[in-house]
Structure 1
Amino acid sequence: MTGLLGLSWRLLRGGGRGGLLGAGLTAVAVAVSTALLLFAVSANLAFQGRAEREAWRNPVAADTGVVAVQAVRRDYVRDLGITVVDVAALRPGAAPPPGLDRFPAPGEVWFSPALAELVRELPAGELAGRFPEKVGGTVGDEALVHPGELVAVRGQEPDAPVMTVKAPQDPLTGTAPTRVAGFTGEPTNDAQAYQALALIATVLMAVPLLVFGGAAARLTVARRDQRLAALRLVGATPGQVVLMTVAEAVITAAAGAVAGVALYGLLTPLLGGIEIAGGSWFAADLWPGVPYTLAVLAAVPLLVGLSAVVGLRRVVVSPLGVAKRETPPAMRVVRVLALLAVLATVPALGAGTAAGVVAVVLGLAFLAINLTGPWVVGVIGRITARTARGPARLLAGRRLVDDPRAAWRTVSGVAMTGFVAGFIGLLSPGSGLLGDADATTLRLTVPAARVSQLTEEARERLSAAGVPARVKVTGEGGDRTLAVTVTEAARVDEAVIDRARTALDGMVPGRGATSEADEERFGVLLLQDVGTGTVVVLTVSFLVAIVSAGITAASSVLDRRQTYALLRLAGTPLEVLNRARRAETLVPLAVMGGGSIVVGMFCALPFSFSAMNVSGLTVLLACVVLGFAGVAGAGAASAPLLRSVTADPAPRPD
C-alpha cells in the first residue's frame, strides 16, 4: 500500500492507544447502526413477503383462460382464525395452488402443519368434524403467512354447492366462488395495512440509525482535525486531505459494517420470535437477501465517508484556526426555519394520506430536528455560561458554545427517541377502544326461503352435539340470521363454542357461524400489533440512543484529553470536571428531549384518536425516565476513562 492510502493506513494504525480506541468506538457505532438498519430493511421486506404469500387466497376473477373455481372462507377455533380455501379444477392438469404438490382431488383436504397438529389434538367434535374429507397432504411454507398459520385447502367438484353458491359474502368472512386463470391473486387489504404500518415504522427506525451512522464519522473529530490541519499547514492539498479522511473513515466503517452483518445474523432467531399479525416469522423472512445486504454494506461506509468529508470544511479552509483551537462561528438561525417549514406541512396530512407521503414527512422532520439541534445547543450553551454560578456550569456552557455539534451528538439519540415516543405515544390506541365484543352468540346467515327448515336443523345439530343453545331468527327481507346463544352460561367456554361451530358447519354452503368477536378479531389483532410494534420501535430507538450516548461520551473524553489533563494540572478537581460533563449533557437533553417529544406529538395530531390513553401516556413517561437514565449511565461509564486521561501530569500533543 503506497501513497496517500498508505499514509492513511499508517496514521490509523499508529495513532497510539487513544487512536485505536477512537477507531474502535467508530467501528462499534457503525456495527450497531448496520445491524439495526438491516433489521429495519428486513422488516419491510418481510411484510412484503407475507403479502405475496397470502395473495393467492384473494382471487382475481378471470374472463378468459379460466382453469379453476376458488372460494375462501374464514373459520375459527380456540380464538384462532382458520382460512378455508375450496378449489375445483375446470381443466385437466390445472396447476395447483401454492404450497401443494398437486391439485387437490374432490373429497380431499390439505392442512397446514399447525392446523394438522391442532386437528389431532382437539376432540373431533370441536374441529376435525368440520373436515370429513380424506387428508391429501400438507400445505407448504410458501403458501403460509407465518409458521403457525391455520390453513385448509379442500378439493371440490365444479358443481358442488360450495362452488356454485351465488349469494355475496361479507369480506370479513370470505369471498364468493371466483373463476380464476391461476392462483396468483392480489394483496389483501389487511396485508396492505400492515405494509403501510411497516413503512412508517421503518422510517421511525431507519432515519435515526442513518443519523447515528453519519455521526460515527465525527467521533474523535478533534484529534483527526488537528492531525489533518497540521498536514495542510506543511503543504498537503485539500484533495489529499479529503482522500486521507475518506480512506480512514471508510476502512473503519467497512470493518464495523461487516461486524454489524454478523451481529444481525446472531440476532435473527431472537427477532423471528416477535409475533405480528397472529404469528412469528420464517427465518428467510428476516434475512434481506444478498442484494440488500450488499447495498447496506456499501451504503453505510459511504455515508460515514461523506459525513467525514462534510466535516472537513474548516480543515480545508482554515487549517490554522483548527490548529489554534479557535471557536468556530456560531450557526445561523436558518436551521430552525427548516424545521418550521416541515412542521407547516403537517396540518395538511390526515388519516387518508398515503403511507409513503407520511413516511417522507416523518423522515424530513427527523432530519430537520437533527439540523436544528446543534443551533439550539449553541443557544443553550450561551445561556448556561452567562447564568453560571460555579465552575462546573461555566465549563459546561463554554464547551457547548465551543462545539455545539459534538454536544448534540451526545444527546441526539435520545432526542430522536423522544420524537418517536411523542409520535407513537399519541397514536397508541387504548386496549378497550373496540369494547368487549360478544363471543358466545354465533350468527349464521341463511336464505329466507329455507329459514324454517334450517332453524329446525340447527336445533337438531346442536342437541346432537350436546350444546344447550337457544336459536333465534333475526332480520327481514332477503337473507335472515340465525342467532345461536348457549343457554347455560356457566358452561360457556371455548370448547363449547367450538362444538357449536362444528355442529353448524356445512348447513349453508360457503358460510360459517361467526360471533361478533370473530368479526372484530382483525381490529383487535391490529391494535395488539400496534402495541407490539411500538415496543419494537422504541426498543430500537433506545438502543441507538444509549449506545450513541455512551460512544460519543467516551469519544468526547478522548477529543479533549489534553484540555482535561491541563485543567487537572491547574488544580481543577476531577469531580468538577465530571459535573461539567454531566451538565453539558443533561441541560441540552432536557430542552431538546422535551422539545422533540412535543414535535413528535404535533406530527401525530392529524392521525391521533380523540384523547390520549393511559398506555400512550405511560410510553411517554417511560421514554423520559429511561432516556435520562440511559444518557446519565452512559456518561458515568466514561468516568474511568476521564480519570485515566487526566492521570498523566505532562500530556503530550497528538
Structure 2
Amino acid sequence: MRTAVELSWRLLRGGGRRSMVGSLLTLAAVAVSTGLLLFAVGANHAFLQRAHADAWRHPGDSVANPTAIEALSTDYVQGEPVTIIDLAALNGDAPVPPGMSRFPEPGEVWTSPALAHLMKDLPADQLAKRFPSPSGTLGRDALVHPGELVAVIGRTAGDPATTARRDVVEHLGATGGPSRIDRFETDASWSADVYLLLAGLASVLMVVPLLVFGGAAARLTVARRDSRLAALRLVGATPGQVVAITTAEAVLTAAAGALAGLVLYAASVPLLTHITIAGGGWFAGDLWPGPPLLAGVLAAVPLLVGASAVIGLRRVVVSPLGVARRETPPGMRAVRILALAAVVIAFGVAGGGLIDMGRAGMIVLMVFLVLAFLAINFAGPWVVALIGRLTAATARRPARLLAGRRLVDDPRSAWRTVAGVALTGFVAGFLALLNAGPSSGGPPDELRVAVPYERSAAVAGQAEKRLAGIDANVSVKRTETRDDPLDADGPVTTTGVVTVTAPGGTAAVDRARTALTGLVPGKVVTTGADEDVTGDRLLADLRTGALTVLVVSFLIAITSAGITSASAVLDRRQAYAMLRLAGTPLSVLDRARRQETLIPLVVMGGGSLLTGLFFGLPFAQGFGFSGLIGLAAFVVLGFGGILGAGALSRPLLRSVTADPAPRPD
C-alpha cells in the first residue's frame, strides 16, 4: 500500500498543469461538499442542544416523593414571549436548575442576560415591576438561544403561583403544571420535538444531494484517469494495484478537500449564528458537532470519494483495452426509469396517510424522500441517453448533432453536470406547496383573561383598581363552551372573559400587562396576537428553513455544475482538439457544449420539479407568494447557474483547443 500511495502522490504531482487543474477541481468539490455536510450535521446537533436546554422548564407528571414544585407560564413584552418558571422547594433535596448555581430562594428571580438587559432599557412600569429584583443571571445551560427572555422565580410551596393550575395549552409549550417533581425533565417538549423532526427533514433534503455530489466529485476527470490506469493495466499492473493506486489518489485528494471544507465551515459559523429560528439565533458552540461526529464526517468524506472512485474502475479492470481504444460502453437498461416510477407510485399510494401517522409518518416521509432522490439520480443517465438519441435524430445544425452524440456517448458525465440543478428542482417543488400565512390574531391593544363567570365581576373590579392612572377600559364578556363539542346535549361551561382595552400602542399595552401581573394566579393576560405567536413563529420558521434548504441546494447545484462543466472540458480535451484539427469552429464546439447541458436540464429539471410538487401535495398549505418565489428562483438560478458555469469554462475550452496537434497523455 505504501508503494501505491507513493505512486499516486507522484502521479498527482507530475501529471502536468491540466492534470493538476483536474485534481484541484475534485478538491474544491469535496471541500464544498464537506462544508455543507458539516452545516447539516451541525444544524441537527444545534437543534438537539436546544431541545436539551428547553426540556427542563416543562413540568412533568407529579411524583410520589417530590422535592420541589414547578410551574411554567408565558408572559409577553413588546410582542415577544417571556418564559417564566416558578419554583418552590419542598425540602433540602430540591434539584438545582440548569444554568443556576443553586435552587432559588423564595422572592428571588434569576433572569437571562437578554431579559436583564431589556429590564434596564425599558421603563420599569413596562417590564421590571412584574418581577422581584434580579438575584442572579441564568447560564448557558438554561437558555435555548442567546436572545431568549427567561425568568426563574423562587416561591413558597403555598404561593398561589405554585398552586393555581395553568391554562391547558401545554401542546404549544407555553404553560404547564404546577407539578410536584423530584427532578427536571430531560425529554424534548412538543415544540422542540417538532423542530427536531423538521431539522431531520431538512437534512434529508440537503444531505442526499450532497452525497450524490460528493460521489460525483470522485468521478471528475474520469476519462483522463481511466485512460492512464488502462495504460498501466496494459503494461502489466494487476487489478489490485490499479485499485490501490486509484483509492490512494482519491483519498489523498478528498482528505485535503475535507480539511478545506472544515476551514470553510469554521469561517461560516459566525454568520450562521445570525439565522433566526424559533425566535432567536444560535450559540456558536451548538453549531459545532461533537468530536465524534466531526471526526466521523471528516473520515466518511474521503471514504465515500474513494469508494466512488473504485466503483468507477470496473471498465478499467475488466477491459483496459476497450478503455484505451475509447469504445462506447454498453447502453443502460430501462429498469432505471422503472425504479423512479415505482417510488412515485408507492408514494402516491401511501402519501395521503402520512400526516395522521405523526412521528412515524415523518420518518416514512424521510425514507420516501431519500428513495426519490436516489431514484432520480439513478434514472437520470438513462433519460439523458434517451434525450441524446432524440437530439441527434432531430438535429439540423452541427452543434445540435455534436451535443446529441456527446449525450449518447457519455450520458453519465452529462448527467453529473445537471444533476445538482435537477435535484434542486425536486426540493423547490416539494417546498413550494408548504406555505401558509400568519394568523390574523386579535386587536393588538385588547388584553383578556378568562375566569369562571361568577368571579368575573370581582376580577374586573380588581383590574380597574390596578389600572388607576392608566388609560384603559375594562369589560366582561360572557361565553359558553360545551365541554364535549361533539355532544350536543353535554354539559356547558360558562366563562367570563375580562377584557382590558389599552389604546396607545405597545408601550401602553405593556404598562397594562405590568399592572395586571398576578391578577389571576396561574394566568397571564394576553392579546389575540400573543396567543398566535407560537404558531406564527413555527410557520415563519418553516419558511426560513425552506429558504435555507433552497439556498444550500442551489449552492450545491451551481457549484456542481461549474466544477463538472470544467472537468468535462478537461476530460474531452483530446476529442475537442481533434475536432478543431478537423476544422470545426470553436463557436460550434462551444454551442454544442452548452446544448448538451441545457437540453437535459430542461427535461430533467422540469421532471424533477413536477415530482417534487407531487411529493408535496399531501402536506400542501396553499400555493402562496413564497412558493412562487421558490419556483421562480429554481428557474432563474438553475438556468443562470448552468449558463454561468458554461461561461466560466469557455476560456478553458479555448485553452485546450489552442494547440490542436495531438499529443500523448
- Report the Cα distance in structure 2 between the residues aligned to 1:161 and 1:612, rounded to whole angstroms: 48
Q: Cα gap change, 1:105/1:269 in structure 2, threshold over 3 Å: closer, same or farther? A: same
Equivalent residue number for residue 497 of structure 2 = 482
Is 1:226 matched up with 2:227? yes
- Return 200-209 or 437-446, whichever deviates more: 437-446
Whether 1:453 aligns to 2:458 is: yes
- TM-aligned CA deviation for residue 496 of structure 1: 1.2
Deviation at 1:393, TM superposition (A): 0.6
Counterpart position of 2:32:
32
Say how many residue pairs are matched.
646
Looking at structure 2, the residues matched to 517 and 62 of structure 1 have their Cα atoms a distance apart, in angstroms, of 32
- Kindly indicate whether residue 395 of structure 2 is the aligned counterpart of residue 396 of structure 1: no
Aligned to 1:608: 620
Tell me the distance in 1 between the aligned counterparts of 2:660 and 2:336: 42
Offset of residue 454 of structure 1: 1.2
Contact 1:242–1:309 (CA<8 Å) still a contact in 2? yes
The answer to whether structure 1 residue 473 and structure 2 residue 477 are counterparts is yes
Q: Is the 8 A contact 2:460 2:498 kept in 1?
A: no
- Matched-pair contact (CA < 8 Å) for 1:169–1:176: no
Work out the CA distance in 1 between the residues paired with 2:165 and 2:530: 24
TM-fit CA distance, 1:602: 0.8
Match of 1:273 in 2: 274
Cα contact 1:84–1:151 (8 A) shared by 2: yes
Give distance in 1, aligned partners of 2:281 and 2:415: 38
1:624 correspondence with 2:635: yes
Partner residue of 1:305?
306
- In the alignment, the residues of structure 1 paired with residue 345 and residue 506 of structure 2 have an alpha-carbon distance, to the nearest angstrom, of 52
Amino acid at match of 1:480: T
Specify the code of the residue in structure 2 equivalent to 1:627. Answer: G
Shift of 1:472: 1.8
Partner of 1:352: 356
**Alpha-carbon distance, 1:397 to partner:** 0.5
Per-residue Cα deviation, 1:463-499 (whole angstroms, up to 9, x for no partner)? 33x1322322323565733332427xxx431111111
Asked if structure 1 preserves the Cα contact closer than 8 Å seen for 2:278 and 2:538, the reply is yes
Greater Cα offset, 399-408 or 525-534: 525-534
1:71 aligns with 2:78: no
Q: 2:509 aligns with which of 483, 487, 497?
A: 497
What is the aligned partner in structure 2 of residue 138 from structure 1? 137
Q: Which amino acid aligns with 1:319?
A: P
1:244, 1:190 → 2: CA distance? 51
Q: Which amino acid aligns with 1:80?
A: E
8 Å contact 1:550–1:637 — kept in the other structure?
yes
Contact kept in structure 2, 1:199 and 1:355, CA below 8 Å: no
The residue number in structure 2 matching 1:644 is: 655
Matched, 1:160 2:159: yes
Q: Which stretch shifts more, 361-370 or 167-176? A: 167-176
Q: Distance in 1 between matches of 2:123 and 2:405?
A: 75
Task: Show CA shifts across 1:582-610 (max 9, x none).
Answer: 0001000000100010011111111112x
The residue type paired with residue 521 of structure 1 is V
Segments of 5+ residues of structure 1 without an aligned counterpart are none
**Is this contact kept in 2: 1:441–1:483, CA < 8 A?**
no
SS at match of 2:497: strand
Q: Deviations over 1:500-532 (max 9, x none)?
A: 111211111111101211111111111111111
Do structure 1's residue 593 and structure 2's residue 605 form an aligned pair?
yes
Secondary structure of 2:203 counterpart: helix
Q: Distance in 2 between matches of 1:113 and 1:75?
A: 17
Relative to structure 1, the CA distance from residue 385 to residue 515 in structure 2 (aligned partners, 3 Å threshold; closer, same or farther) is same
Partner residue of 1:240? 241
Shift of 1:381: 0.5
Query: What corresponds to 2:567 in structure 1?
Result: 555
- State the partner residue of 2:488: none
Matched, 1:92 2:92: yes
Query: Does the aligned pair in 1 maintain the 2:167–2:523 contact within 8 Å?
Result: no
Take 2:501 and 2:62, find their aligned partners in 1: how far apart are those partners? 43
Partner of 1:523: 535
Identify if the C-alpha distance between structure 1 residues 166 and 416 changes in structure 2 by more than 3 Å, giving closer, same or farther: closer
The equivalent residue for 1:21 is 21
Residues 494-503 or 22-31, more deviating? 494-503
Q: Deviations over 1:308-348 (max 9, x none)?
A: 11111111111111111111111100011111121122131
State the Cα deviation string for residues 386-432 of structure 1 (Å, max 9, x = none). Answer: 11111101110110000000000000010011010000012122x35
- Counterpart CA distance in 2 for 1:478 and 1:104 is 38
Residue aligning to 1:435: 440
SS in 1 for 2:443: coil
SS at match of 2:83: strand
1:278 match: secondary structure: coil
Q: Deviations over 1:429-450 (max 9, x none)?
A: 2x35x33543222111224443
The residue that corresponds to 1:373 in the other structure is 380
Distance in 2 of aligned mates of 1:5 and 1:154: 64
Q: Is the 8 A contact 2:164 2:178 kept in 1?
A: yes
| Secondary structure at 1:57 match in 2 | coil
Q: Quote the Cα distance in structure 2 between the aligned partners of 1:168 and 1:295.
A: 45
SS in 2 for 1:463: coil
Gaps of 5+ in 2: 481-491
Distance (Å, rounded) in 1 between the aligned partners of 2:406 and 2:297 = 35
- CA deviations 1:108-164 (Å, max 9, x no partner) are 111100001111111111111211x23210011111010000000000011111112
Amino acid at match of 1:473: K
| Residue aligned with 1:293, SS | helix
1:534 Cα deviation from its structure 2 partner: 1.4
Q: State the distance in 2 between where 1:418 and 1:169 align.
A: 42
Change in CA separation of 1:572 and 1:130 when aligned onto 2, cut-off 3 Å: same
The correspondence of residues 180-219 of structure 1 with structure 2, limited to 5 A, is: 180-219=181-220
Two-structure CA RMSD over aligned residues (Å): 1.5
Residues 157/228 of structure 1: CA separation in 2 closer, same or farther (3 Å cut): same
Residue identity opposite 2:465 in structure 1? E
| One-letter identity of the residue aligned with 2:232 | L
Q: For residue 49 of structure 2, what is the aligned residue in structure 1?
A: 49
Q: Distance in 2 between matches of 1:183 and 1:478?
A: 34
**Equivalent AA in structure 2 for residue 352 of structure 1:** D
Q: Which residue identity is paired with 2:498?
A: A
SS in 2 for 1:125: helix
**1:579 paired to 2:591:** yes
CA change 1:2–1:612 in 2 (3 A) is: closer
Indicate how the Cα distance of structure 1 residues 167 and 258 shifts in structure 2: closer, same or farther if over 3 A, else same: closer
CA contact (8 A) 1:445 1:479 kept: no
Verify the 8 A CA contact 1:462 1:500 in the aligned structure 2: yes
CA contact (8 A) 1:50 1:145 kept: yes
Q: C-alpha separation between the residues in 2 aligned to 1:474 and 1:505?
A: 22
- % identity of equivalent residues: 59
Structure 2 CA distance for aligned equivalents of residues 559 and 230 of structure 1 = 16
Structure 1 letter corresponding to 2:325: K
SS of aligned partner of 1:276: coil
User: What is the letter of the counterpart of residue 145 of structure 1?
Assistant: V
Choose 180-189 or 540-549, whichever is displaced more: 180-189
In the TM superposition, residue 78 of structure 1 has moved relative to its aligned partner by: 0.2
Distance 1:167 1:264, change over 3 A: closer
